[in-house]
């Protein structure tokens, strides 16, 4: 054995309170980085490094994994990824809700809600491989892992989205999906509530999902219904997972609409008691409002609806649907019809339901931020500091270590992302240094594009990419491919 000791690290973060991502309590330790990896953890006062930073009194933890994003094109168009890196996010999972930038072969404008990802010219990736290569060549500030969206597959192979796929179309989608999985996709996502896939049957989804297991992927789903029939929608998701033998992630779990407020306990009990419970996980954002394109089915006069953009009436953005309808002298549904295509924030969630769901041990943090929206829901900029500051520290819903676990170790395990999500020797040096007393989100519904406070330093693959409120201009994100299951 070579006895030569080489303790020269590139970086040592000294005296920090290390939260390792497993959910265990913070421990005061030093963390050393060499190259892209964590090289040592412990008391390293005798060791030398090119750079040593004293982070006494600050938390050192794994970079956050945003499990639910629509950043497919944003990571390429704005590779600094300021909304993400400023929150301590070092990895984004794109391609959620059935909507992925690849593989997409458009013949026309992207149908609503695929337009959440961008406009026609943004859909340039005929194959998943092309998307992956684009990420690697642009090298965004954060790592990117991607799901393949059911709606995207439908758009490629179905001239009419408003019906069930034929067996011929299913076969073509299966092939498209398998090529993507072989190129490193993490799994399949659906958005069965959306018009573009609502007409698919459970069998259609199962025939696609059943191709995912052999690539070690997962199934993530925006449920067919988040309103009155949510239990049926959950049962469908579990049936798909069980039949296709896949772990299931229920995306942005919520009890939507005033008629369903207070049902979170019932919904969580239904999940806890499901026979497939051991392979079900959840994600949630820390707000009592959702956001998407403006959907007539979600217009409800009992709740506030904020218009964030409108193609026909851009001047109406940042106003409520109620105000616009009153001014136009029409009903809200009529106003919505005139505004479409448009974007909206729906104040359709009860705060207590949200806090109960986000506190569940299976729940990971996913922002569901919409970077293409000119006046986005504040979750795009505020989700992670809001969980750490408001929910963990101020409301004491769970410990800081649990909060970190929900955004690091838990998602890495559930999405099968290898060697990330923990402060552990040999793991990628995706690290965040933050001030637990100060950390807070500042983005609001009125002023949504605001960086949070308290995130002091963010390292991605060993490179310091964010410090004290701004990017350092150094980007080191990579594409993260799926890991084949261990034989
Ligand atoms: Zn969704
Ligand atoms: Cu989403």
Residue 426 domain flag:
no
- Number of neighbours of residue 231 by Cβ within 10 angstroms: 14
Predicted confidence at residue 258, as pLDDT, reads 97
Residue 138 domain flag:
yes
Residue 165 domain flag:
yes
Q: Summarize pLDDT for 404-423 with one digit per residue, the tens.
A: 999 999 999 999 999 999 99
Q: How far apart are the CA of 222 and the centre of ligand 1, in A? A: 5
34's enclosing H/E stretch is: strand 27-34
Q: Which ligand is nearest to the CA of 194?
A: 1
Q: Which ligand is nearest to the CA of 66?
A: 2
| The domain boundary residue, chosen from 375, 393, 419 | 419
C-alpha dist (Å) from residue 246 to 255, 437, 454: 24, 40, 38
Q: Which ligand is nearest to the CA of 250?
A: 1
Nearest to 408 by CA among 439, 386, 442, 432: 432
Q: How far apart are the CA of 69 and the centre of ligand 2, in A? A: 6
Residues making up the chain, counted from first to last? 487
Q: Same domain, yes or no, for 326 and 178?
A: no
Residue 164 domain flag:
yes
Binned at pLDDT 50, 70 and 90, residue 424 comes out as very high
Structure tokens at 474: 């150094």
Q: Same domain, yes or no, for 381 and 323?
A: no
CB-based contact 102:94 (threshold 8 Å): no
Structure tokens at 349: 């969630």
Predicted confidence at residue 49, as pLDDT, reads 95
- Lookup result for tokens 């004491």: 396
Q: Domain holding 172: CATH number?
A: 3.20.20.140
Q: Domain holding 316: CATH number?
A: 3.30.1490.130
Q: What is the C-alpha to C-alpha distance for residues 56 and 19, in angstroms, rounded to an integer?
A: 14
280-284/363-365 β-pairing:
parallel
Alpha helices of 48-127 — where are they, by DSSP H?
74-77, 82-85
Predicted confidence at residue 6, as pLDDT, reads 56
| The domain boundary residue, chosen from 385, 419, 453 | 419
Predicted confidence at residue 45, as pLDDT, reads 87
Q: How far apart are the CA of 194 and the centre of ligand 1, in A? A: 9
How many domains, the chain? 2
Q: How far apart are the CA of 349 and the centre of ligand 1, in A? A: 14
Q: Summarize pLDDT for 294-326 with one digit per residue, the tens.
A: 999 999 999 999 999 999 999 999 999 999 999
Predicted confidence at residue 46, as pLDDT, reads 87
Q: Same domain, yes or no, for 172 and 209?
A: yes
Q: Identify the residue with better confidence: 90 or 7.
A: 90
Structure tokens at 423: 């402060």
Q: How far apart are the CA of 251 and the centre of ligand 1, in A? A: 6
| pLDDT above 70 as % of the chain | 98
Please compute Rg for the chain using Cα positions.
22
Contacts of 7 (CB under 8 A, 6+ apart): 44, 46, 47, 48
Q: Same domain, yes or no, for 192 and 124?
A: yes
Predicted confidence at residue 472, as pLDDT, reads 98
CB-based contact 342:336 (threshold 8 Å): yes
Residue 447 domain flag:
no
Q: Same domain, yes or no, for 339 and 207?
A: no
Q: How far apart are the CA of 141 and the centre of ligand 1, in A? A: 24
Q: What is the C-alpha to C-alpha distance for residues 247 and 238, in angstroms, rounded to an integer?
A: 9
Nearest to 88 by CA among 361, 421, 375, 368: 421
Q: Same domain, yes or no, for 302 and 178?
A: no
DSSP string across 129-156: HHHHHHHHHH--SSEEEEPEEHHHHHHH
Output the average pLDDT for the chain. Answer: 96
CB-based contact 244:205 (threshold 8 Å): no
Q: Same domain, yes or no, for 359 and 211?
A: yes
Task: Judge residue 13's burial from the number of C-beta atoms within 10 Å of its C-beta, 0-12 exposed, 13-18 middle, 19 or more buried.
Answer: buried
Domain coverage including residue 321: 298-343
Predicted confidence at residue 7, as pLDDT, reads 62
360's enclosing H/E stretch is: none
Q: Same domain, yes or no, for 153 and 273?
A: yes
Q: Same domain, yes or no, for 271 and 334?
A: no
Predicted confidence (pLDDT) at residue 192 exceeds the cutoff of 90: yes
Predicted confidence (pLDDT) at residue 487 exceeds the cutoff of 90: no
Q: Which ligand is nearest to the CA of 69?
A: 2
What average pLDDT does the segment 80-95 reach?
98
Q: Same domain, yes or no, for 389 and 279?
A: yes
Residue 456 domain flag:
no
CB-based contact 390:351 (threshold 8 Å): no
What average pLDDT does the segment 245-252 reach?
98
Binned at pLDDT 50, 70 and 90, residue 486 comes out as low
Predicted confidence at residue 2, as pLDDT, reads 47
Q: Is the bond leading into 358 cis (omega within 30 degrees of zero)? A: no
Residue 171 domain flag:
yes
| The domain boundary residue, chosen from 373, 401, 419 | 419
Q: Which ligand is nearest to the CA of 226?
A: 1
Q: How far apart are the CA of 343 and the centre of ligand 1, in A? A: 14
What is the arrangement of strands in the sheet containing 187-191, beginning at the earlier edge strand? 148-149, 187-191, 218-222, 248-250, 280-284, 363-365
Binned at pLDDT 50, 70 and 90, residue 352 comes out as very high
Residue 443 domain flag:
no
C-alpha dist (Å) from residue 320 to 72, 157, 287, 311, 336: 28, 38, 18, 16, 11
Q: Same domain, yes or no, for 284 and 314?
A: no
Q: How far apart are the CA of 35 and the centre of ligand 1, in A? A: 37
Q: Which ligand is nearest to the CA of 369?
A: 2
Q: Which ligand is nearest to the CA of 222?
A: 1
Q: How far apart are the CA of 95 and the centre of ligand 1, in A? A: 10
Predicted confidence at residue 5, as pLDDT, reads 53
Q: What is the pTM of this model?
A: 0.97
Contacts of 278 (CB under 8 A, 6+ apart): none
Q: How far apart are the CA of 342 and the centre of ligand 1, in A? A: 16
Q: DSSP character for 350?
A: -
Q: Same domain, yes or no, for 254 and 402?
A: yes
Predicted confidence (pLDDT) at residue 211 exceeds the cutoff of 80: yes
């Amino acid at each position: 054995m070579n006895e030569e000791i080489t303790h020269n690290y590139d970086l040592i973060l000294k005296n920090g309170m290390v939260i390792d991502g497993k959910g265990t309590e913070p421990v005061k330790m030093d963390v050393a980085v060499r190259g892209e990896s964590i090289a040592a953890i412990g008391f390293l006062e005798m060791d030398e490094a090119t750079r040593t930073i004293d982070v006494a009194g600050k938390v050192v933890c794994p970079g956050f994994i945003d499990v639910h994003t629509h950043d497919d094109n944003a990571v390429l168009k704005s590779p600094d990824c300021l909304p993400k890196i400023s929150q301590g996010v070092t990895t984004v999972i794109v391609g959620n809700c059935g909507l992925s930038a690849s593989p997409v072969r458009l013949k026309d404008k992207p149908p609503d809600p695929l337009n959440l990802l961008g406009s026609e010219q943004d859909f340039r990736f005929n194959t998943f491989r092309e998307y992956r290569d684009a990420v690697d060549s642009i090298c965004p500030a954060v790592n990117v892992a991607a799901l393949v969206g059911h709606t995207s597959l439908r758009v490629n192979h179905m001239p009419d989205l408003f019906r069930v796929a034929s067996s011929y179309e299913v076969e073509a989608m299966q092939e498209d999906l398998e090529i993507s999985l072989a190129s490193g996709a993490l799994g399949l996502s659906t958005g069965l509530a959306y018009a573009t896939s609502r007409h698919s049957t459970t069998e259609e989804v199962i025939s696609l999902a059943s191709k995912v297991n052999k690539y070690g992927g997962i199934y993530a789903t925006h449920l067919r219904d988040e309103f009155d029939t949510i239990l049926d929608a959950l049962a469908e998701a579990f049936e798909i997972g069980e039949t296709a033998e896949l772990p299931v992630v229920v995306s942005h779990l919520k009890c939507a609409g005033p008629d369903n407020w207070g049902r979170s306990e019932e919904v969580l009990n239904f999940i806890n008691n499901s026979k497939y419970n051991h392979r079900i996980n959840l994600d949630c954002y820390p707000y009592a409002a959702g956001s998407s394109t403006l959907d007539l089915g979600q217009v409800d006069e009992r709740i506030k609806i904020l218009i964030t953009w409108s193609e026909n009436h851009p001047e109406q953005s940042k106003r409520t649907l109620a105000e616009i309808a009153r001014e136009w002298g029409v009903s809200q549904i009529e106003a919505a019809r005139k505004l479409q295509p448009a974007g909206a924030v729906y104040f359709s969630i009860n705060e207590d339901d949200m806090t109960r769901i986000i506190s569940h041990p299976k729940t990971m943090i996913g922002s569901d931020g919409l970077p293409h929206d000119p006046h986005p829901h504040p979750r795009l900029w505020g989700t992670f500091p809001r969980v750490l500051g408001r929910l963990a520290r101020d409301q004491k819903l769970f410990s800081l270590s649990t909060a970190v676990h929900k955004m690091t170790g838990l998602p890495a395990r559930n999405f099968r992302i290898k060697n990330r999500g923990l402060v552990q020797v040999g793991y990628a040096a995706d690290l965040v240094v933050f001030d637990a007393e100060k950390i807070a989100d500042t983005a609001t519904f009125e002023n949504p594009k605001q960086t949070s406070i308290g995130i002091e330093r963010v390292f991605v693959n060993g490179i310091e990419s964010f410090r004290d409120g701004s990017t350092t201009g150094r980007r080191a994100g990579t594409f993260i491919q799926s890991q084949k299951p261990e034989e």
